[in-house]
Chains A and B, each alone.
Chain A
Amino acid sequence: MSTATPSRTAPDSGTAIKEKPAPLFGIMAEFDSPAAIMDAAHKVHAAGYKWWDTHTPFPVHGLDKAMGIKPTILPMLVFFLGLNGFLMGWALQLFTNSFSFELWALVPVQGYDFVVSGKPDISGPAFIPVIFELTILFSAVGCVFLMLLMNRLPQWYHPVFKSERFARATDDRFFVVIESRDPQFQKDRTESFLRSLNPMSVESLED
């Protein structure tokens, strides 16, 4: 399948690439296996493109390295969020249970010095479970929302969705998209470069 002859794909891509006034978003090449996309990713990266991406139905092991993607700083950010939850846990319990301290938030709120079961005002051990849970809660919620934020999701519109072929990016096809904003992008050269990677099809994407 990966050795699909260019003659089979040529008529399709020929019609897709005809001149249109709509600005060009980029050029997309379709592959049919993890090995093929891996090979293509290595070559596109080696060719020095910057604004490009691959789309796969599942995370292909090692593809991010092949593309030269730097490790995300997400874990670092999540650590600080967890730390924040830890401090919030302490602050919440000390304020509400240990001191009658008055705080002006949107409304005045008053702490309360709970004396219960003969435990000290600052009952560290008794506060541990809530501190722990809040640490986890802040880290996990932050982790998910930061991941989405850094991925710029939700993004319900994207030029790739205009392609009918792209519907299989969540099924069994693998795509390389080189964007027109890449400094190296030249429509004809980039297209023939993508064709040299032996794809199943090549298609232009309108913005």
Chain B
Amino acid sequence: MSTIVIDNTFEDPTRRAPLVLNHDNFGSVTREICWVNESPKPPKAWYVTMGISLMLAGLLGTMILYLFATGVGVWGNQNPVMWGFPIVNFVFWVGIGHAGTLISAILFLFRQKWRTAINRFAEAMTIFAVICAATFPGIHVGRVWVVYWLFPIPNQMDMWPQFRSPLLWDVFAVNTYFTVSLLFWYVGLIPDLATLRDRANNKFKAIAYGIFSLGWRGSTRHWHRYERAYLLLAALATPLVLSVHSVVSFDFAVSQLPGWHTTIFPPYFVAGAIFGGFAMVVTLAVPARQLWGLKNFITMRHLENMNKIILLTGTIVGYAYTMEFFIAWYSGAEYEGFAFINRATGQHWWAYLIMFSCNVFAPQLFWFKRFRTSIPVMFFVVNCVNVGMWFERFVIVLSLEMDFLPSSWAYFKPTWVDLATLLGSFGLFMTLFLLFIRYLPVIAIAEIKAVMPQADPHAHHHHEHHHEPRAEVTASNEGEEATS
């Protein structure tokens, strides 16, 4: 395998930037991607991070048990901040997931072929993030043994959920989102699981991958329906992802509270979710491509594209922060104005500052190509965004701190259980993610082959007869451009 790295971040409209580097045949692509799963042992870093993640996941389990055994009083939630960390963490995690769907569905509809290198693990990230997200409202209900009351299940009390409540919309939105994301991910996985099945070197792997690949044999009659189904799923997932975070924002916006009851919330939440999600994709992609040598697939151009989206959505978020303030003043509503002044200068001013600087100022570095294509800089910025987006939800939820009744004003303080549960949710997320990297194809093998120039059924003839003259023409064109 050659290790020549070509810079594919050039912006030359006359040439299509290669999306797969240093590969000119399909076989080597299969081998290189499958090596992540087929190498006898994963890299040392995998064991180390897996160990830490498992410990943190164990911490989450312990905290949940402690919570169940004791009650929600172990958290810092109190009147008037009835929703503390659980809702902050819920919105944070569900937002992370949205980048996965954006990459897999929206970029698919826009025919952005660079998505193929990152869609598989972004989708995996979606699913694991939604699992983490769903945990929080699930354990926040207080009496967990009646959590099934969330669903319209006929029961002996003739009792039904109240469908006019945004909280119930959320149940339906998040469950639909999880189901559809899982299906989307699985449909994409079927051909690649078949690849792993056909390459399996022992019976156990062959059977395990064999069962889940459903006997896929790459039949064109199958591909035909498969591609159509995939397109339909993308078309369905696109409005879904926008609706899910809109519904999450309704949890706030439909209430009658100053600082929450604003029409900007749905678009602002969706942009924020995509922003935070892309930051998480880059956070995971940078070490993953390094450790498993996937730099030929997740190229600098892919990272740069994601950084551009982070810049765009970060700027939308910055606009929303500013516009909220403007409207609070312009509306002339006294309570609205107070809520916003209080956000920025009140007792949690430091949280607002972290949010604003991490989400709005840090991504501005990405205006410069030098920073967009620098691994240390982007890693720093995306981690700022990860922190900033968590604080954004924290700031919004803490609008509850100073409500209409000054006698109940308080300073929200999380307990150690709050913090340990948040930390533990990262453990759960990373555990699932590391297992995924090791046991499932981390890059969509079939899809990435289809975006290689070799996949064009009409390219072959050119390749044989016209390759040399065409290469010369391109070379001379480039020369002209360089001189002009």
Contact in complex: A155, B220 (CB < 8 Å): no
Interface residue A22 (Cβ < 8 Å from any Cβ of B): no
Task: Give the secondary structure class of B's interface.
Answer: helix
Interface residue B225 (Cβ < 8 Å from any Cβ of A): yes
Residues of A within 8 A of B224 (CB): 59, 64, 69, 72
Q: How far is the CB of A146 from chain B (nearest CB, A)?
A: 8
Within 8 A of B (CB), among A50-67: 53-64, 67
Q: How far is the CB of B212 from chain A (nearest CB, A)?
A: 9
Among candidates B232, B247, B458, B461, residue contacting A129 with C-beta atoms closer than 8 Å: B247
CB nearest neighbor in A for B212: A154
**Contact mask for chain B residues 189-228; partner A; CB cutoff 8 A; 1 contact, 0 none:** 0010011011100000000001100111111111111111
Interface residue B261 (Cβ < 8 Å from any Cβ of A): no
Interface residue B154 (Cβ < 8 Å from any Cβ of A): yes
Are A72 and B199 also in contact (CB < 8 A) when A67-B220, A78-B232, A97-B162 are? no
Are A35 and B457 also in contact (CB < 8 A) when A60-B220, A137-B179, A167-B198 are? yes
What is the count of residue pairs linking A and B with beta-carbon distances less than 8 angstroms?
Answer: 229
Bound state CA distance, A62 and B184, in angstroms?
23
Contact in complex: B191, A140 (CB < 8 Å): no
Are A57 and B218 also in contact (CB < 8 A) when A137-B179, A144-B229 are? yes
Contact in complex: B195, A55 (CB < 8 Å): no
Residues of B within 8 A of A33 (CB): 454, 460
Contact in complex: A144, B233 (CB < 8 Å): yes
Bound state CA distance, A158 and B108, in angstroms?
32
Among candidates A34, A54, A133, A168, residue contacting B243 with C-beta atoms closer than 8 Å: A133
Interface residue B449 (Cβ < 8 Å from any Cβ of A): yes
Among candidates B160, B187, B218, B243, residue contacting A170 with C-beta atoms closer than 8 Å: B218
Interface residue B32 (Cβ < 8 Å from any Cβ of A): no
Bound state CA distance, A35 and B247, in angstroms?
48
Greatest chain A CB density within 10 A among B158, B160, B166, B459 is at B160
Among candidates B164, B180, B227, B447, residue contacting A116 with C-beta atoms closer than 8 Å: B164
Are A156 and B215 also in contact (CB < 8 A) when A56-B220, A75-B228 are? yes
**Contact mask for chain A residues 115-156; partner B; CB cutoff 8 A; 1 contact, 0 none:** 011010001001101101110110111011011101101111
Among candidates A35, A109, A161, residue contacting B217 with C-beta atoms closer than 8 Å: A161
Contact in complex: A117, B228 (CB < 8 Å): no
Residues of B within 8 A of A117 (CB): 164
Interface residue A193 (Cβ < 8 Å from any Cβ of B): no
Residues of A within 8 A of B215 (CB): 153-158, 161
**Contact mask for chain B residues 157-170; partner A; CB cutoff 8 A; 1 contact, 0 none:** 01111111010110
Contact in complex: B30, A172 (CB < 8 Å): yes
Contact in complex: A69, B229 (CB < 8 Å): no
Residues of A within 8 A of B194 (CB): 170
Contact in complex: A129, B243 (CB < 8 Å): yes
Residues of B within 8 A of A137 (CB): 175-176, 179-180
Residues of B within 8 A of A139 (CB): 232, 236
Contact in complex: A93, B163 (CB < 8 Å): yes
Contact in complex: B217, A64 (CB < 8 Å): no
Within 8 A of B (CB), among A65-81: 67, 69, 71-72, 74-75, 78
Q: How far is the CB of B149 from chain A (nearest CB, A)?
A: 12
Bound state CA distance, A146 and B187, in angstroms?
12
Bound state CA distance, A107 and B194, in angstroms?
44
CB nearest neighbor in B for A69: B224
Q: How far is the CB of A163 from chain B (nearest CB, A)?
A: 11
Contact in complex: A34, B217 (CB < 8 Å): no
Q: How far is the CB of A59 from chain B (nearest CB, A)?
A: 4
Residues of A within 8 A of B446 (CB): 57-59, 170
Contact in complex: A61, B173 (CB < 8 Å): no
Q: How far is the CB of A187 from chain B (nearest CB, A)?
A: 22
Q: How far is the CB of A101 from chain B (nearest CB, A)?
A: 12
Q: A59-B220, A93-B163, A116-B162 are in contact. List 5 more A-B contacts (CB 8 A).
A: A61-B456, A75-B228, A96-B161, A153-B215, A171-B199
9 residue pairs bridging A and B, Cβ less than 8 Å apart:
A34-B457, A57-B449, A71-B228, A136-B236, A140-B233, A143-B236, A151-B221, A166-B217, A170-B216
Using a CB–CB cutoff of 8 Å, the interface residues on chain A facing chain B are 2, 33-38, 41, 53-64, 67, 69, 71-72, 74-75, 78, 92-93, 96-97, 105, 107, 109-112, 114, 116-117, 119, 123, 126-127, 129-130, 132-134, 136-137, 139-141, 143-144, 146-148, 150-151, 153-158, 160-161, 166-172
